[in-house]
Amino acid sequence: MLFSMQQDGSLAGRNRLRLVSFGFIMFFLAISTQLGYLTLWQQRPEKPVIEYSERVPRPDIVDRNGVVLATDVSVFSLYADPRKILDVDEAVELLTATVPGFDAKSLRQKLSQPNRAFVWLKREVSPAEREAIHNLGIPGVGFRAETKRVYPMGRLASHVLGYVDLDSKGIAGIEKFLDDQGALYTASLGEDNTRAMPAMLSIDIRVQHALADELAKGIAKFRAKAGGAIVLNVKSGEVLGLVSLPDFNPNQENKNFTFDQANRMTSGVFELGSVIKAVSFAMALDYGTANLESRFDARAPLVIGRAAIHDFQPTRRILTLPEVFTNSSNIGTARMVLAVDQERHQAFLRRVGLMDRLVTELPENAKPILPKRWGRLVQATVAFGHGFAVQPLQGAQVVAGLLNGGNMLPVTFLKRDVADAQAMGKRVVKPETSKTLRYLFRLNGLEGSARSANAKAPGYRIGGKTGTAEKVVNGRYDKSKNLTVFTGAFPMEDPQYVVMVLMDEPQATPETYGFSTSGWNAVPTAGYIIARIAPLLGIQPELTEDERKEIAKQQAKAAKEGKT
């Protein structure tokens, strides 16, 4: 009996053991089946949409010598996951007490969105703010590493560089050009796949600085409303410097720039006045309708219909072609151009590009304003730049093409070789025509309205053409408001660089004897610019005996006055 009871107890124990083991096995099988189902058969959930924009690393922008003009730096931005915020009111209270400038109402709205996984709270927080917020220990609040675009040179070359928005998207200038060309993606496939090769500009930051400094001095001296200046390589079409004042600082957070801060040299069009006479002379010489021996009657105004064309400083005599140029005679230039029929005149303007929009890497480029109807009077006034408005950079490009042997080169803000540029050139005038124009430009620099440029930069053999145009105000020309322009080149025996200076509404001073025309303001400003940039560009002065005597005289005067 006792044996039977022990046997039954042993059997019951084994049964319980089997039952427990079976339970463990079934539990393990259930878990394994579920895991297999989730990993092998069930479709994976889609990756959640991240509600922020990743900043694509931008290429550095450097000048022609490798000086950094724009680059990215690492920053942190503050974000939140509203789903993980435990107490919205407490989070708002802590954040507003820690970070100046936080708006409690806006912050509460952002944090009170339980269906959102990501909201920006503040872009580009400072290191001090980051540390203070981190120490708060608020669940659901964190930082994301980003990049910030900075411009080490500040305002210098701002119109060329442009700027980007908060998401590092190019908005203007070369920055927008890089985006439009897809350079952020194609150029960024470097060794680490994160950093782009630098974009090398044609700009020489040393030239740019001298240009901006001297232009600012000129604007202040002549109390001009605004101004601009350009340095263009005649042989390659490269822009070595471009300034438009007032300018802006691309580093400032608020990018609401005013209309006055726009790039006048490419996004604006102006009547360049007598600078366009260079084109008229080139046309007449190239077509063979005039030569250096030609003479033009400037004894009285030229009457066309009810209009009369006058000279600013009448000579009231018959002028040779060089005298028409150096005296900037409207009458003589108009008579010379009227010898060419209107169709050929328009064809020449089209040949040199003045009938079309100048397109460069800068997206800010304005279309020329051309006469709607051509007649004898329009042809005569267009001859001296009246009623015909173009980009200032376009005017500089045309002058460079007329002086470099007659080969018009595409203008660029990117560094390129002279050989590559020459291959892209287009013949616009004969070499002989170009040679004659160089003679006329130099003559004007020695005897005409451009004399003061050589006085300010002796030895650099400057030649050029001045232009003074009345501004259009409320649909009418205002005699009291002028735009003055000087387009010059140096050294004139073999021009290497074109320099253009523009001043908007310069005022007369006692030093200018009451005059406010180009020869009194834009020309001397250009002279000061050339005196500073020529040594940087490797151009050596060759002083004449008269220039040596004048320099010695000025040095003696300065020494007597105790100046260095």
Is the distance from CB of 163 to CB of 351 less than 8 angstroms? no
Task: Give the span between the Cα atoms of 78 and 211, in whole angstroms.
Answer: 41
DSSP β-ladder status, 239-245 and 270-271 = unpaired
| N-to-C CA span, the chain | 134
CB 336 within 8 A of CB 384: no
Q: Which residues contact 170 (CB under 8 A, 6 or more apart)?
A: 162, 163, 164, 176, 177, 178, 179, 180
Q: Which helix (H) or strand (E) holds 418?
A: helix 418-423
Please give the Cα distance from 386 to 302 (Å, whole number): 15
Contacts of 523 (CB under 8 A, 6+ apart): 449, 450, 451, 452, 453, 464, 466, 486, 488, 501
Cβ 389 vs Cβ 372: under 8 Å = no
CA–CA dist 546, 564 (Å, integer): 22
Q: What share of the chain is helix, strand, coil (3-state, %, to 5)?
A: 40, 20, 40
Considering only CA atoms, which of 392, 410, 413 is closest in space to residue 401?
A: 410
Taking the C-alpha atoms of residue 42 and residue 50, their distance in angstroms, rounded to an integer, is 23
* DSSP category for residue 82: G
Neighbours of 281 (CB within 10 A): 26
3-state secondary structure of 492: coil
Active-site annotation, residues: 274
Cα–Cα distance between 328 and 315 in angstroms, integer?
11
